[in-house]
Structure 1
Amino acid sequence: MKGWRFVVNLRWAAYLAVTVLFAVACGLLSNWQFDRREQALAEIRKVTENWDREPVPLEQVLPTVDSFDDDQKWTPVELRGSYLTDEQVLARNRPFNGRPGFEVLTPLQLDDGSVFVVDRGWLPVGNEQDYPDDVPAPPVGEVDVVVRLKPGEPVLPGRLAPDGQIATVHLPKIAETLDAPLYSEAYGLLVSEDPAPDTRPLAALRPAEDEGSHLSYAFQWIVFGILGFLGLGYAIRNEYRIRNADEPEEQERARKRERKRAARAPDDAEIEDRILADR
Protein backbone atom coordinates (compact mmCIF):
# COMPACT_ATOMS: atom_id res chain seq x y z
CA MET A 1 0.00 0.00 0.00
CA LYS A 2 1.67 3.19 -1.25
CA GLY A 3 1.66 6.58 0.45
CA TRP A 4 0.30 7.04 3.93
CA ARG A 5 -2.84 4.94 3.52
CA PHE A 6 -1.23 2.03 5.42
CA VAL A 7 -1.80 3.86 8.75
CA VAL A 8 -5.59 3.62 8.31
CA ASN A 9 -6.01 0.17 9.83
CA LEU A 10 -6.69 -1.48 13.19
CA ARG A 11 -3.02 -2.12 13.97
CA TRP A 12 -2.03 1.55 13.86
CA ALA A 13 -5.27 2.53 15.59
CA ALA A 14 -4.30 0.19 18.42
CA TYR A 15 -0.79 1.71 18.55
CA LEU A 16 -2.32 5.18 18.73
CA ALA A 17 -4.70 4.11 21.52
CA VAL A 18 -1.80 2.68 23.54
CA THR A 19 0.21 5.87 23.01
CA VAL A 20 -2.71 8.02 24.14
CA LEU A 21 -3.24 5.87 27.24
CA PHE A 22 0.48 6.10 28.02
CA ALA A 23 0.37 9.89 27.66
CA VAL A 24 -2.69 10.10 29.93
CA ALA A 25 -0.92 7.97 32.55
CA CYS A 26 2.14 10.21 32.30
CA GLY A 27 -0.08 13.27 32.72
CA LEU A 28 -1.71 11.82 35.84
CA LEU A 29 1.67 10.93 37.33
CA SER A 30 2.94 14.42 36.52
CA ASN A 31 -0.05 16.01 38.28
CA TRP A 32 0.55 13.70 41.26
CA GLN A 33 4.13 14.98 41.50
CA PHE A 34 2.92 18.60 41.25
CA ASP A 35 0.46 17.89 44.09
CA ARG A 36 3.20 16.32 46.21
CA ARG A 37 5.36 19.39 45.65
CA GLU A 38 2.52 21.65 46.77
CA GLN A 39 2.14 19.54 49.91
CA ALA A 40 5.88 19.78 50.58
CA LEU A 41 5.82 23.56 50.06
CA ALA A 42 2.85 23.83 52.43
CA GLU A 43 4.79 21.94 55.11
CA ILE A 44 7.81 24.20 54.57
CA ARG A 45 5.58 27.27 54.98
CA LYS A 46 4.31 25.95 58.33
CA VAL A 47 7.88 25.52 59.55
CA THR A 48 9.07 28.96 58.41
CA GLU A 49 5.98 30.75 59.72
CA ASN A 50 5.52 28.95 63.05
CA TRP A 51 8.72 27.34 64.32
CA ASP A 52 10.45 30.49 65.62
CA ARG A 53 7.36 32.27 66.94
CA GLU A 54 7.22 33.47 70.53
CA PRO A 55 5.26 31.00 72.68
CA VAL A 56 1.68 31.93 73.53
CA PRO A 57 -0.69 30.34 76.09
CA LEU A 58 -2.22 27.07 74.93
CA GLU A 59 -5.80 28.26 75.38
CA GLN A 60 -5.11 31.18 73.05
CA VAL A 61 -4.28 28.78 70.21
CA LEU A 62 -6.56 25.86 71.15
CA PRO A 63 -9.63 27.29 72.90
CA THR A 64 -11.22 23.82 73.27
CA VAL A 65 -9.82 20.31 73.71
CA ASP A 66 -10.99 19.29 70.23
CA SER A 67 -9.82 22.37 68.30
CA PHE A 68 -6.80 22.37 66.02
CA ASP A 69 -6.08 23.65 62.52
CA ASP A 70 -3.27 22.14 60.50
CA ASP A 71 -1.87 25.62 59.82
CA GLN A 72 -1.07 25.74 63.57
CA LYS A 73 1.44 22.92 63.25
CA TRP A 74 4.80 23.74 64.94
CA THR A 75 3.32 26.74 66.78
CA PRO A 76 5.02 27.12 70.21
CA VAL A 77 2.63 27.25 73.17
CA GLU A 78 3.02 27.59 76.93
CA LEU A 79 1.43 25.24 79.47
CA ARG A 80 1.47 24.86 83.24
CA GLY A 81 0.54 21.69 85.08
CA SER A 82 1.78 18.44 86.57
CA TYR A 83 3.00 15.39 84.69
CA LEU A 84 0.96 12.20 85.07
CA THR A 85 4.01 9.96 85.17
CA ASP A 86 2.00 6.79 85.78
CA GLU A 87 0.15 7.36 82.49
CA GLN A 88 3.34 7.76 80.44
CA VAL A 89 3.61 5.63 77.29
CA LEU A 90 6.23 5.04 74.61
CA ALA A 91 5.54 5.45 70.91
CA ARG A 92 7.46 2.63 69.24
CA ASN A 93 9.22 2.35 65.87
CA ARG A 94 10.43 5.96 65.85
CA PRO A 95 13.65 6.29 63.83
CA PHE A 96 16.02 9.19 64.48
CA ASN A 97 18.95 9.75 62.09
CA GLY A 98 18.58 6.16 60.94
CA ARG A 99 18.56 4.69 64.47
CA PRO A 100 15.51 2.84 65.87
CA GLY A 101 13.94 4.06 69.05
CA PHE A 102 10.96 5.43 70.96
CA GLU A 103 9.30 8.74 71.73
CA VAL A 104 8.29 9.39 75.33
CA LEU A 105 4.68 10.60 75.65
CA THR A 106 3.79 12.01 79.07
CA PRO A 107 0.33 13.46 79.77
CA LEU A 108 0.41 16.85 81.49
CA GLN A 109 -2.60 17.72 83.65
CA LEU A 110 -3.27 21.44 83.39
CA ASP A 111 -4.58 23.71 86.11
CA ASP A 112 -8.13 23.53 84.71
CA GLY A 113 -8.12 19.72 84.97
CA SER A 114 -7.73 18.99 81.25
CA VAL A 115 -4.81 16.92 79.97
CA PHE A 116 -2.36 17.65 77.16
CA VAL A 117 0.07 15.02 75.83
CA VAL A 118 3.71 16.12 75.76
CA ASP A 119 6.25 14.30 73.59
CA ARG A 120 9.31 14.73 75.80
CA GLY A 121 11.71 13.45 73.13
CA TRP A 122 13.41 10.42 71.63
CA LEU A 123 15.25 7.48 73.21
CA PRO A 124 17.19 4.71 71.43
CA VAL A 125 16.32 1.04 71.80
CA GLY A 126 18.08 -0.65 74.67
CA ASN A 127 19.83 -3.96 75.14
CA GLU A 128 16.50 -5.77 75.14
CA GLN A 129 15.61 -4.00 71.84
CA ASP A 130 11.92 -3.62 72.77
CA TYR A 131 12.46 -1.00 75.49
CA PRO A 132 14.97 1.78 76.23
CA ASP A 133 17.69 1.05 78.77
CA ASP A 134 16.65 4.15 80.73
CA VAL A 135 13.70 6.56 80.57
CA PRO A 136 14.54 9.91 82.21
CA ALA A 137 11.84 10.95 84.66
CA PRO A 138 9.92 14.19 84.10
CA PRO A 139 9.95 16.96 86.72
CA VAL A 140 7.80 16.33 89.79
CA GLY A 141 5.13 18.81 90.83
CA GLU A 142 4.00 21.87 88.96
CA VAL A 143 6.05 22.66 85.86
CA ASP A 144 6.02 25.31 83.15
CA VAL A 145 6.31 23.72 79.74
CA VAL A 146 6.83 25.05 76.21
CA VAL A 147 5.92 22.74 73.33
CA ARG A 148 5.41 22.94 69.57
CA LEU A 149 2.03 21.72 68.37
CA LYS A 150 1.73 18.67 66.16
CA PRO A 151 -1.44 16.89 64.95
CA GLY A 152 -2.33 13.49 66.32
CA GLU A 153 -1.80 10.41 64.19
CA PRO A 154 -4.31 7.89 62.83
CA VAL A 155 -4.50 4.23 63.74
CA LEU A 156 -2.53 2.01 61.36
CA PRO A 157 -4.22 -1.37 60.76
CA GLY A 158 -2.10 -4.31 61.83
CA ARG A 159 0.22 -2.24 64.02
CA LEU A 160 0.35 -3.68 67.55
CA ALA A 161 2.23 -2.62 70.67
CA PRO A 162 2.92 -4.23 74.08
CA ASP A 163 1.67 -2.78 77.36
CA GLY A 164 3.03 0.68 78.05
CA GLN A 165 3.60 1.37 74.36
CA ILE A 166 1.53 2.57 71.39
CA ALA A 167 2.04 2.02 67.68
CA THR A 168 1.05 5.57 66.70
CA VAL A 169 0.35 8.81 68.56
CA HIS A 170 -3.39 8.21 68.40
CA LEU A 171 -4.64 10.58 71.08
CA PRO A 172 -8.10 8.98 71.58
CA LYS A 173 -6.25 5.76 72.49
CA ILE A 174 -4.35 7.60 75.23
CA ALA A 175 -7.61 9.24 76.40
CA GLU A 176 -9.05 5.79 77.17
CA THR A 177 -6.74 5.48 80.20
CA LEU A 178 -7.51 8.93 81.63
CA ASP A 179 -10.37 10.24 83.76
CA ALA A 180 -10.04 13.81 82.48
CA PRO A 181 -10.75 15.57 79.17
CA LEU A 182 -7.78 15.21 76.81
CA TYR A 183 -6.75 17.51 73.96
CA SER A 184 -7.63 15.02 71.25
CA GLU A 185 -6.49 16.73 68.03
CA ALA A 186 -2.94 17.84 68.84
CA TYR A 187 -0.04 17.07 71.12
CA GLY A 188 3.24 18.92 71.69
CA LEU A 189 6.95 18.36 71.03
CA LEU A 190 8.83 19.48 74.13
CA VAL A 191 10.93 22.63 73.83
CA SER A 192 11.66 23.38 77.49
CA GLU A 193 10.61 22.57 81.06
CA ASP A 194 10.91 24.72 84.18
CA PRO A 195 12.18 23.34 86.49
CA ALA A 196 14.39 21.44 84.08
CA PRO A 197 15.46 17.87 84.95
CA ASP A 198 19.08 16.78 84.94
CA THR A 199 18.52 14.61 81.87
CA ARG A 200 15.75 14.38 79.29
CA PRO A 201 15.09 12.46 76.07
CA LEU A 202 16.61 13.83 72.87
CA ALA A 203 14.70 16.88 71.63
CA ALA A 204 13.04 16.93 68.21
CA LEU A 205 14.96 18.62 65.41
CA ARG A 206 13.69 21.35 63.15
CA PRO A 207 12.25 19.70 59.99
CA ALA A 208 14.38 20.06 56.87
CA GLU A 209 12.97 22.73 54.55
CA ASP A 210 13.45 20.71 51.38
CA GLU A 211 10.73 20.37 48.77
CA GLY A 212 12.41 17.31 47.22
CA SER A 213 12.61 16.37 43.54
CA HIS A 214 8.88 16.45 42.79
CA LEU A 215 9.13 19.30 40.28
CA SER A 216 11.80 17.57 38.17
CA TYR A 217 9.86 14.29 38.31
CA ALA A 218 6.71 16.11 37.16
CA PHE A 219 8.49 17.49 34.09
CA GLN A 220 10.07 14.10 33.40
CA TRP A 221 6.63 12.49 33.18
CA ILE A 222 5.55 15.20 30.73
CA VAL A 223 8.62 14.48 28.61
CA PHE A 224 7.88 10.74 28.69
CA GLY A 225 4.35 11.41 27.42
CA ILE A 226 5.72 13.49 24.53
CA LEU A 227 8.32 10.84 23.74
CA GLY A 228 5.53 8.30 23.34
CA PHE A 229 4.05 10.29 20.44
CA LEU A 230 7.51 10.90 18.96
CA GLY A 231 8.15 7.17 19.07
CA LEU A 232 4.85 6.49 17.33
CA GLY A 233 5.70 9.06 14.66
CA TYR A 234 9.12 7.49 14.14
CA ALA A 235 7.55 4.03 13.73
CA ILE A 236 5.05 5.35 11.18
CA ARG A 237 7.78 7.16 9.26
CA ASN A 238 10.01 4.07 9.26
CA GLU A 239 7.25 1.89 7.83
CA TYR A 240 6.51 4.54 5.22
CA ARG A 241 10.14 4.34 4.06
CA ILE A 242 9.94 0.55 3.80
CA ARG A 243 6.64 0.53 1.91
CA ASN A 244 7.71 3.31 -0.47
CA ALA A 245 11.35 2.35 -0.94
CA ASP A 246 10.96 2.15 -4.76
CA GLU A 247 9.51 5.64 -5.08
CA PRO A 248 11.96 8.17 -6.67
CA GLU A 249 11.54 10.71 -3.88
CA GLU A 250 12.16 8.11 -1.19
CA GLN A 251 15.16 6.73 -3.08
CA GLU A 252 16.62 10.24 -3.27
CA ARG A 253 16.14 10.68 0.49
CA ALA A 254 17.85 7.32 1.07
CA ARG A 255 20.84 8.41 -1.04
CA LYS A 256 21.10 11.68 0.94
CA ARG A 257 21.07 9.77 4.21
CA GLU A 258 23.78 7.46 2.91
CA ARG A 259 25.95 10.41 1.83
CA LYS A 260 25.59 11.97 5.28
CA ARG A 261 26.59 8.72 6.98
CA ALA A 262 29.57 8.38 4.64
CA ALA A 263 30.61 11.97 5.38
CA ARG A 264 30.53 11.26 9.09
CA ALA A 265 32.47 7.98 8.80
CA PRO A 266 36.22 8.27 9.56
CA ASP A 267 38.68 7.48 6.77
CA ASP A 268 41.50 4.90 7.05
CA ALA A 269 44.03 7.48 8.25
CA GLU A 270 41.74 8.64 11.10
CA ILE A 271 41.11 5.03 12.13
CA GLU A 272 44.85 4.35 12.21
CA ASP A 273 45.49 7.50 14.29
CA ARG A 274 42.85 6.42 16.81
CA ILE A 275 44.39 2.94 17.12
CA LEU A 276 47.84 4.43 17.71
CA ALA A 277 46.45 6.89 20.26
CA ASP A 278 44.85 4.08 22.24
CA ARG A 279 48.12 2.15 22.58
Structure 2
Amino acid sequence: MSERYAFLRSARWLGLAVAVLAFVAACVVLGMWQWDRFDNRLAEARQVADAYDAEPVPLTEVTGEDLRVAAADEWRPARVTGHYVDGGTVLLRNRPVDGSPAVHAVTPFVADTGVGQVVVVVDRGWLPAEEAEETGAVVPQPPTAGVAMTGRLRPAETAVERDRPTGQIYRLAPDEVIEAASEVTDVGALEDLPVLDGYLVAAGPEISPPGAEDTAASEGSAELGTYPRPSSNWGLNLSYAFQWWLFAAGGLVAVVVLARREAADRAGDAPRPRRVTAEEEEDALVDAQLEDAAER
Protein backbone atom coordinates (compact mmCIF):
# COMPACT_ATOMS: atom_id res chain seq x y z
CA MET A 1 0.00 0.00 0.00
CA SER A 2 1.45 3.39 -0.99
CA GLU A 3 1.91 6.11 1.60
CA ARG A 4 -0.95 7.96 -0.09
CA TYR A 5 -3.36 5.39 1.36
CA ALA A 6 -1.57 4.68 4.59
CA PHE A 7 -4.54 6.11 6.51
CA LEU A 8 -6.51 2.97 5.59
CA ARG A 9 -4.58 1.18 8.35
CA SER A 10 -6.08 3.47 10.99
CA ALA A 11 -8.60 2.12 13.50
CA ARG A 12 -11.32 4.32 12.03
CA TRP A 13 -10.94 2.93 8.54
CA LEU A 14 -10.47 -0.66 9.71
CA GLY A 15 -13.74 -0.35 11.64
CA LEU A 16 -15.44 1.12 8.59
CA ALA A 17 -14.12 -1.73 6.44
CA VAL A 18 -15.49 -4.35 8.83
CA ALA A 19 -18.89 -2.64 8.90
CA VAL A 20 -19.05 -2.40 5.09
CA LEU A 21 -17.97 -6.03 4.63
CA ALA A 22 -20.69 -7.13 7.07
CA PHE A 23 -23.22 -5.04 5.14
CA VAL A 24 -22.09 -6.49 1.81
CA ALA A 25 -22.19 -10.06 3.15
CA ALA A 26 -25.71 -9.53 4.51
CA CYS A 27 -26.89 -8.12 1.16
CA VAL A 28 -25.38 -11.06 -0.73
CA VAL A 29 -27.05 -13.58 1.61
CA LEU A 30 -30.41 -11.82 1.36
CA GLY A 31 -30.07 -11.73 -2.42
CA MET A 32 -29.39 -15.48 -2.50
CA TRP A 33 -32.41 -16.07 -0.25
CA GLN A 34 -34.64 -14.13 -2.63
CA TRP A 35 -33.12 -16.01 -5.57
CA ASP A 36 -33.98 -19.34 -3.92
CA ARG A 37 -37.56 -18.12 -3.38
CA PHE A 38 -37.72 -17.03 -7.02
CA ASP A 39 -36.42 -20.43 -8.16
CA ASN A 40 -38.97 -22.29 -6.00
CA ARG A 41 -41.89 -20.10 -7.07
CA LEU A 42 -40.96 -20.41 -10.72
CA ALA A 43 -40.87 -24.20 -10.37
CA GLU A 44 -44.26 -24.11 -8.62
CA ALA A 45 -45.71 -21.90 -11.36
CA ARG A 46 -44.51 -24.33 -14.04
CA GLN A 47 -45.93 -27.29 -12.11
CA VAL A 48 -49.30 -25.55 -11.71
CA ALA A 49 -49.40 -24.65 -15.41
CA ASP A 50 -48.66 -28.24 -16.47
CA ALA A 51 -51.15 -29.77 -14.03
CA TYR A 52 -53.91 -27.19 -14.49
CA ASP A 53 -54.02 -27.62 -18.27
CA ALA A 54 -53.83 -31.43 -18.23
CA GLU A 55 -56.68 -33.56 -19.53
CA PRO A 56 -59.06 -34.83 -16.81
CA VAL A 57 -58.59 -38.49 -15.86
CA PRO A 58 -60.37 -40.79 -13.40
CA LEU A 59 -59.50 -40.04 -9.78
CA THR A 60 -57.66 -43.27 -8.96
CA GLU A 61 -55.40 -42.90 -12.04
CA VAL A 62 -53.90 -39.88 -10.31
CA THR A 63 -53.96 -40.85 -6.63
CA GLY A 64 -53.21 -44.56 -6.96
CA GLU A 65 -54.24 -47.12 -4.38
CA ASP A 66 -52.97 -45.04 -1.44
CA LEU A 67 -55.50 -42.28 -2.29
CA ARG A 68 -52.98 -39.52 -1.62
CA VAL A 69 -52.63 -36.27 -3.60
CA ALA A 70 -48.94 -35.82 -4.44
CA ALA A 71 -47.41 -32.36 -4.71
CA ALA A 72 -46.71 -32.95 -8.41
CA ASP A 73 -50.43 -33.57 -9.03
CA GLU A 74 -51.76 -30.48 -7.27
CA TRP A 75 -54.37 -28.70 -9.44
CA ARG A 76 -54.61 -31.64 -11.83
CA PRO A 77 -58.21 -32.24 -12.98
CA ALA A 78 -59.80 -35.56 -12.02
CA ARG A 79 -63.18 -37.05 -12.93
CA VAL A 80 -65.46 -38.66 -10.33
CA THR A 81 -68.92 -40.19 -10.40
CA GLY A 82 -71.08 -40.86 -7.37
CA HIS A 83 -73.26 -38.87 -5.01
CA TYR A 84 -72.98 -36.15 -2.40
CA VAL A 85 -73.83 -36.83 1.23
CA ASP A 86 -77.40 -35.56 1.58
CA GLY A 87 -77.47 -32.45 3.79
CA GLY A 88 -73.72 -32.73 4.43
CA THR A 89 -72.67 -29.22 3.29
CA VAL A 90 -70.47 -27.39 5.81
CA LEU A 91 -69.05 -23.87 5.65
CA LEU A 92 -65.43 -22.83 5.44
CA ARG A 93 -65.17 -19.21 6.58
CA ASN A 94 -62.40 -16.62 6.52
CA ARG A 95 -60.95 -17.90 3.23
CA PRO A 96 -60.79 -14.95 0.78
CA VAL A 97 -61.17 -15.35 -2.98
CA ASP A 98 -59.32 -12.79 -5.11
CA GLY A 99 -58.82 -10.69 -1.99
CA SER A 100 -62.53 -10.57 -1.11
CA PRO A 101 -63.98 -12.16 2.06
CA ALA A 102 -65.72 -15.41 1.15
CA VAL A 103 -67.51 -18.44 2.56
CA HIS A 104 -66.82 -21.80 0.88
CA ALA A 105 -69.42 -24.56 0.55
CA VAL A 106 -67.76 -27.93 1.26
CA THR A 107 -69.53 -31.29 0.97
CA PRO A 108 -68.39 -34.93 1.32
CA PHE A 109 -68.83 -36.92 -1.90
CA VAL A 110 -68.98 -40.70 -2.23
CA ALA A 111 -67.13 -41.58 -5.44
CA ASP A 112 -67.55 -44.88 -7.29
CA THR A 113 -64.10 -45.92 -8.53
CA GLY A 114 -65.09 -49.18 -10.22
CA VAL A 115 -63.40 -51.25 -7.52
CA GLY A 116 -65.10 -49.65 -4.52
CA GLN A 117 -66.29 -46.39 -3.05
CA VAL A 118 -64.10 -43.55 -1.77
CA VAL A 119 -65.08 -40.52 0.29
CA VAL A 120 -63.88 -37.32 -1.41
CA VAL A 121 -64.20 -33.86 0.13
CA VAL A 122 -65.36 -31.35 -2.51
CA ASP A 123 -65.03 -27.57 -2.27
CA ARG A 124 -68.02 -26.77 -4.47
CA GLY A 125 -67.66 -22.99 -4.68
CA TRP A 126 -68.03 -19.82 -2.67
CA LEU A 127 -70.29 -16.95 -1.67
CA PRO A 128 -69.29 -13.42 -0.68
CA ALA A 129 -69.08 -13.40 3.13
CA GLU A 130 -71.48 -10.47 3.38
CA GLU A 131 -74.06 -12.22 1.20
CA ALA A 132 -73.79 -15.44 3.20
CA GLU A 133 -74.40 -13.56 6.42
CA GLU A 134 -77.35 -11.59 5.01
CA THR A 135 -79.11 -14.73 3.81
CA GLY A 136 -78.52 -16.56 7.06
CA ALA A 137 -75.85 -18.72 5.42
CA VAL A 138 -78.37 -20.36 3.08
CA VAL A 139 -75.98 -22.08 0.69
CA PRO A 140 -76.93 -23.84 -2.57
CA GLN A 141 -77.22 -27.57 -1.93
CA PRO A 142 -75.68 -30.15 -4.28
CA PRO A 143 -77.80 -32.58 -6.29
CA THR A 144 -79.09 -35.50 -4.26
CA ALA A 145 -79.05 -37.80 -7.28
CA GLY A 146 -75.90 -39.38 -8.67
CA VAL A 147 -73.63 -36.99 -10.56
CA ALA A 148 -70.51 -36.93 -12.68
CA MET A 149 -68.18 -34.03 -12.08
CA THR A 150 -64.62 -32.78 -12.62
CA GLY A 151 -62.54 -31.22 -9.86
CA ARG A 152 -58.97 -30.11 -9.33
CA LEU A 153 -56.90 -32.03 -6.80
CA ARG A 154 -55.42 -30.27 -3.77
CA PRO A 155 -53.40 -31.77 -0.88
CA ALA A 156 -55.21 -32.01 2.44
CA GLU A 157 -54.71 -29.18 4.90
CA THR A 158 -53.72 -29.77 8.52
CA ALA A 159 -56.67 -29.81 10.91
CA VAL A 160 -56.68 -27.46 13.89
CA GLU A 161 -57.78 -28.42 17.38
CA ARG A 162 -60.10 -25.64 18.44
CA ASP A 163 -63.79 -25.18 19.10
CA ARG A 164 -65.84 -24.77 15.93
CA PRO A 165 -69.35 -23.46 15.35
CA THR A 166 -71.71 -26.28 14.38
CA GLY A 167 -71.38 -27.20 10.72
CA GLN A 168 -68.33 -25.01 10.13
CA ILE A 169 -64.65 -25.76 9.54
CA TYR A 170 -61.35 -23.90 9.70
CA ARG A 171 -59.30 -26.14 7.42
CA LEU A 172 -59.92 -28.28 4.36
CA ALA A 173 -58.87 -31.42 6.22
CA PRO A 174 -61.02 -34.47 5.30
CA ASP A 175 -61.45 -35.69 8.89
CA GLU A 176 -62.48 -32.23 10.07
CA VAL A 177 -64.97 -31.88 7.19
CA ILE A 178 -66.57 -35.27 7.89
CA GLU A 179 -66.76 -34.51 11.60
CA ALA A 180 -68.46 -31.17 10.89
CA ALA A 181 -70.83 -32.86 8.43
CA SER A 182 -71.81 -35.36 11.14
CA GLU A 183 -73.08 -32.39 13.16
CA VAL A 184 -75.66 -31.48 10.50
CA THR A 185 -76.59 -34.85 8.93
CA ASP A 186 -76.18 -38.61 9.24
CA VAL A 187 -72.77 -39.74 7.95
CA GLY A 188 -72.94 -43.30 9.24
CA ALA A 189 -72.64 -44.68 5.71
CA LEU A 190 -69.13 -43.20 5.48
CA GLU A 191 -67.63 -44.97 8.50
CA ASP A 192 -66.12 -47.97 6.70
CA LEU A 193 -65.13 -46.20 3.49
CA PRO A 194 -61.57 -45.07 2.63
CA VAL A 195 -61.07 -41.29 2.49
CA LEU A 196 -59.04 -39.36 -0.08
CA ASP A 197 -56.03 -37.71 1.58
CA GLY A 198 -56.73 -34.42 -0.14
CA TYR A 199 -59.76 -32.72 -1.64
CA LEU A 200 -61.28 -31.60 -4.92
CA VAL A 201 -62.03 -28.04 -6.00
CA ALA A 202 -65.05 -28.10 -8.29
CA ALA A 203 -64.02 -27.21 -11.83
CA GLY A 204 -67.07 -28.08 -13.88
CA PRO A 205 -70.83 -28.60 -13.75
CA GLU A 206 -72.36 -31.38 -11.65
CA ILE A 207 -74.13 -33.49 -14.28
CA SER A 208 -76.86 -35.90 -13.20
CA PRO A 209 -77.58 -38.86 -15.46
CA PRO A 210 -80.79 -38.72 -17.54
CA GLY A 211 -83.85 -39.69 -15.56
CA ALA A 212 -82.23 -39.16 -12.17
CA GLU A 213 -84.46 -37.40 -9.69
CA ASP A 214 -82.82 -34.41 -8.02
CA THR A 215 -84.51 -33.37 -4.80
CA ALA A 216 -81.92 -30.83 -3.63
CA ALA A 217 -83.52 -27.78 -2.10
CA SER A 218 -82.45 -24.70 -3.98
CA GLU A 219 -85.14 -22.18 -3.10
CA GLY A 220 -83.66 -19.05 -1.51
CA SER A 221 -80.12 -20.13 -2.32
CA ALA A 222 -77.63 -18.02 -4.20
CA GLU A 223 -75.38 -19.29 -6.97
CA LEU A 224 -71.90 -20.40 -5.93
CA GLY A 225 -68.91 -18.63 -7.45
CA THR A 226 -66.09 -20.47 -9.21
CA TYR A 227 -62.40 -20.20 -8.36
CA PRO A 228 -59.86 -18.33 -10.50
CA ARG A 229 -56.74 -19.87 -11.93
CA PRO A 230 -53.92 -19.80 -9.35
CA SER A 231 -51.23 -17.22 -9.96
CA SER A 232 -47.64 -16.84 -8.77
CA ASN A 233 -45.75 -13.56 -8.66
CA TRP A 234 -42.25 -15.02 -8.94
CA GLY A 235 -40.93 -11.92 -10.74
CA LEU A 236 -41.07 -9.92 -7.50
CA ASN A 237 -38.54 -12.22 -5.81
CA LEU A 238 -36.22 -11.94 -8.80
CA SER A 239 -36.39 -8.15 -8.55
CA TYR A 240 -35.62 -8.24 -4.82
CA ALA A 241 -32.59 -10.49 -5.41
CA PHE A 242 -30.99 -8.04 -7.84
CA GLN A 243 -31.82 -5.12 -5.56
CA TRP A 244 -29.92 -6.70 -2.66
CA TRP A 245 -26.91 -7.41 -4.91
CA LEU A 246 -26.95 -3.82 -6.14
CA PHE A 247 -26.89 -2.65 -2.52
CA ALA A 248 -23.83 -4.87 -1.95
CA ALA A 249 -22.03 -3.40 -4.97
CA GLY A 250 -23.03 0.10 -3.88
CA GLY A 251 -21.45 -0.44 -0.45
CA LEU A 252 -18.11 -1.41 -2.02
CA VAL A 253 -18.21 1.51 -4.45
CA ALA A 254 -18.97 3.94 -1.63
CA VAL A 255 -15.90 2.81 0.35
CA VAL A 256 -13.64 3.24 -2.70
CA VAL A 257 -15.01 6.75 -3.36
CA LEU A 258 -14.54 7.80 0.27
CA ALA A 259 -10.99 6.44 0.36
CA ARG A 260 -10.00 8.27 -2.84
CA ARG A 261 -11.58 11.49 -1.59
CA GLU A 262 -9.75 11.34 1.74
CA ALA A 263 -6.45 10.51 0.02
CA ALA A 264 -6.89 13.55 -2.24
CA ASP A 265 -7.66 15.79 0.77
CA ARG A 266 -4.59 14.58 2.64
CA ALA A 267 -2.34 15.10 -0.40
CA GLY A 268 -3.68 18.59 -1.06
CA ASP A 269 -5.12 17.53 -4.38
CA ALA A 270 -8.66 18.43 -3.47
CA PRO A 271 -10.24 21.13 -5.61
CA ARG A 272 -9.67 24.58 -4.13
CA PRO A 273 -12.25 27.34 -4.18
CA ARG A 274 -11.70 29.92 -6.94
CA ARG A 275 -10.14 33.20 -5.78
CA VAL A 276 -12.39 36.21 -6.01
CA THR A 277 -10.84 39.05 -8.02
CA ALA A 278 -10.72 42.69 -6.80
CA GLU A 279 -13.19 43.68 -9.51
CA GLU A 280 -15.67 41.01 -8.34
CA GLU A 281 -15.26 42.20 -4.73
CA GLU A 282 -15.97 45.81 -5.82
CA ASP A 283 -19.05 44.76 -7.80
CA ALA A 284 -20.37 42.82 -4.81
CA LEU A 285 -19.83 45.86 -2.56
CA VAL A 286 -21.72 48.17 -4.95
CA ASP A 287 -24.61 45.65 -5.19
CA ALA A 288 -24.84 45.50 -1.42
CA GLN A 289 -24.93 49.30 -1.14
CA LEU A 290 -27.68 49.56 -3.75
CA GLU A 291 -29.78 46.94 -1.96
CA ASP A 292 -29.29 48.80 1.35
CA ALA A 293 -30.39 52.08 -0.22
CA ALA A 294 -33.46 50.46 -1.75
CA GLU A 295 -34.53 49.07 1.60
CA ARG A 296 -34.33 52.56 3.18
Identify the TM-score tier after normalising by the shorter chain. 0.7 to 0.9
Does structure 1 retain, via aligned residues, the 8 Å contact 2:69–2:153? no
Partner of 2:173: 170
Give the CA deviation at 1:241: 2.8
Sequence identity of aligned pairs in percent?
33
Q: Is 1:222 matched up with 2:245?
A: yes
Q: Specify every segment of 5 or more residues in structure 1 that has no aligned partner in the other structure, as ranges.
A: 260-279
Q: Specify every segment of 5 or more residues in structure 2 that has no aligned partner in the other structure, as ranges.
A: 183-189, 209-213, 275-296
| In 2: Cα distance, 1:132 partner to 1:224 partner | 54
Give the CA deviation at 1:21: 1.5
User: Higher mean Cα deviation, 95-104 or 134-143?
Assistant: 95-104
Does structure 1 retain, via aligned residues, the 8 Å contact 2:56–2:76? yes
1:152 to 147, 156, 164: 156
2:271 to 230, 254, 277: 254
Q: 2:98 is matched by which residue type in structure 1?
A: N
Give the CA deviation at 1:77: 0.6
Partner of 1:182: 195
| In 2: Cα distance, 1:130 partner to 1:237 partner | 71
Partner of 1:106: 107
Report 1:207-246 matches (<5 A).
207-208=230-231, 210-245=233-268
| In 1: Cα distance, 2:72 partner to 2:103 partner | 26
Give the CA deviation at 1:130: 9.3
| In 1: Cα distance, 2:56 partner to 2:71 partner | 17
Give the CA deviation at 1:108: 0.6
The CA deviation string for residues 143-172 of structure 1, in whole angstroms up to 9 with x for no partner, is: 112101112223579x87423222222334
Q: 1:167 is matched by which residue type in structure 2?
A: Y
User: Higher mean Cα deviation, 232-241 or 191-200?
Assistant: 191-200
TM-score (norm 1): 0.77
Partner of 1:271: none
Does structure 2 retain, via aligned residues, the 8 Å contact 1:53–1:76? yes
> Secondary structure of the equivalent of 1:68?
coil
| In 1: Cα distance, 2:21 partner to 2:174 partner | 47
Structure showing greater radius of gyration is: 2
| In 2: Cα distance, 1:152 partner to 1:130 partner | 30
Equivalent pairs counted in the alignment come to 248
Does structure 1 retain, via aligned residues, the 8 Å contact 2:34–2:237? yes
Partner of 2:82: 81
Report 1:1-279 matches (<5 A).
3-111=4-112, 112-126=116-130, 129=133, 133-155=137-159, 161-174=164-177, 176=179, 179=191, 180-184=193-197, 186-192=198-204, 193-195=206-208, 200-208=223-231, 210-245=233-268, 250=269, 254=271
CA RMSD after TM alignment: 2.8
Does structure 1 retain, via aligned residues, the 8 Å contact 2:28–2:245? yes
TM-score (norm 2): 0.73
* Structure 2 CA distance for partners of 1:38 and 1:85, relative to 1, 3 Å: farther
Does structure 2 retain, via aligned residues, the 8 Å contact 1:51–1:76? yes
| In 1: Cα distance, 2:254 partner to 2:47 partner | 44
| In 1: Cα distance, 2:13 partner to 2:164 partner | 57
| In 2: Cα distance, 1:211 partner to 1:188 partner | 26
| In 2: Cα distance, 1:127 partner to 1:62 partner | 36
Does structure 2 retain, via aligned residues, the 8 Å contact 1:22–1:225? yes
